[in-house]
Amino acid sequence: MTPPDPPHGSTVSPMRPDTPADHITEAERLLRTAAQYPEDREPLLLRAAAHLELAGARTRATTLYDDLLAATPPPEHPQLVKALKAANLWEYGHEAEARIIIDGIRATPPSDAAAWEIVAETLEAHDELEPSEAAFTAAVTALVPSPDDEVPYPAQSLLMGRHRVRRLLGLRHDDWDVLADRLHTGSVPLDELHDPKRLWSLGSSDPAELQAEITRLRSELGSYRTALSRPFPVAVLLWPADELTELLAAYPELESEYPTHEAHLTDLEASLRELASAGTPNLGIVQGTVPSYEAFAASESTAPSNASLLPQYATTLAARGRATPWPPARTAPCWCGSGTAYGECHGTARI
């Protein structure tokens, strides 16, 4: 099925490269972009390091992690950088150093879902299942105080990973596992995807068993492809009221895109909901400013009054790590900046 056209200010990121040479090329491109936009150095270098790891250039990836950790000012997410460094080190024979880093992260209170997920998955990948389960559990219980609470988007992946490791350990379901089952939206039940006995079915001569396993693997592969093909969010462009006023005063040609600020906010939420209903994951919002937009237009040798430039501007902001995930929790402040809870502002059912 052909995907829907993106709304104004949104864009889909390019597919991830598939060969080591492509990964090196992409890493070099990201490093050049980081030099051009030093204020976004951290997310760009993390993505470059990921491509270097995929290309097998793990020593270069470690150097990037070290550069980030030694930077002044320090990285915004130091635990995440340390976790990625540890996972990379372990993969090319530096287990002792990786363990020291992981132990240091686990000695701190969980606050970064991504860092703890990487730590737990690294332990899992090296058959350290009990410590992996303990790390997943510590993160889940810290970031989601009760199974009855709304689960922040970053914590949902923690729940899925915890469910998987507990199945490998043969542990009985608890309330967190039930919550993971409820949040799972795939066509194959989570218990079936995480069944340790699945390995046996791969050696079966029964066509029905093999076909069932193919179905399960396709379900998993679809999730992985979705994640890997979107290194940054599908981003919708938000103009704060004062920035939109300045933009339209300077470039009245864009008034057809933004009749009023209220209409702009309403259209933004509607666009995101339309993308979500079409099954588009990893949605986000990037905030524009007139000076930044004008600088981007100059770099593209295009007039800022050109409306077709707006989606490209959103793409660039998203690629630089500027996107805020959507939707926020219903009790969190609304993305529009009103200060009202999202569930009582643009998160209401009415559009």
Task: Find the radius of gyration of the CA atoms of the chain.
Answer: 22
Residue 168 has pLDDT above 60, yes or no: yes
Stretch 1-19: mean pLDDT, rounded? 41
pLDDT confidence band for 213 (50 / 70 / 90): low
Residue 229 has pLDDT above 60, yes or no: no
Nearest by Cα to 154 from 342, 329, 276 = 329
Model pTM score:
0.65
Side chain identity, residue 302: T
| 3-state helix/strand/coil string of the chain | CCCCCCCCCCCCCCCCCCCHHHHHHHHHHHHHHHHHCHHHHHHHHHHHHHHHHHCCCHHHHHHHHHHHHCCCCCCCCHHHHHHHHHHHHHHCCCHHHHHHHHHHHHCCCCCCHHHHHHHHHHHHHCCCHHHHHHHHHHHHHHHCCCCCCCCCHHHHHHHHHHHHHHHHHCCCCCHHHHHHHHHCCCCCCHHHHCCCCHHHHCCCCCHHHHHHHHHHHHHHHHHHHHHHCCCCCEEEEECCHHHHHHHHHHCHHHHHCCCCHHHHHHHHHHHHHHHHHCCCCCEEEEECCHHHHHHHHHHCCCCCCCCCHHHHHHHHHHHCCCCEEECCCCCCECCCCCCCEHHHCCCCCCC
Residue 104 has pLDDT above 80, yes or no: yes
d(CA 136, CA 164): 10
Domain spans, the chain: 20-228, 234-344
20-228 is classed CATH 1.25.40.10: yes
pLDDT confidence band for 11 (50 / 70 / 90): very low
pLDDT at 122: 94
Give helix 153-169 / helix 113-125 axis angle, nearest 10°: 20
Share of the chain above pLDDT 90, in %: 48
pLDDT at 137: 96
Residue 236 has pLDDT above 80, yes or no: yes
Strand 234-238 to strand 283-287: parallel, antiparallel, or no bridges (unpaired)? parallel
Q: Which of 134-138, 167-171, 192-196, 294-298 has the lowest mean pLDDT?
A: 192-196
pLDDT at 200: 53
The sign of the dihedral angle between the CA atoms of 90, 93, 96, 97 is negative
pLDDT in tens, 294-308: 988 887 888 999 998
Stretch 4-13: mean pLDDT, rounded? 39
d(CA 331, CA 308): 35
pLDDT in tens, 29-65: 889 988 988 888 998 899 899 999 989 999 999 999 9
Residue 199 has pLDDT above 70, yes or no: no
d(CA 258, CA 116): 41
pLDDT at 283: 87
Cβ-proximal residues to 325 (8 Å cutoff; 6+ apart), any chain = 153, 154, 233, 282, 283, 284
Highest-pLDDT range among 186-195, 203-212, 332-341? 332-341
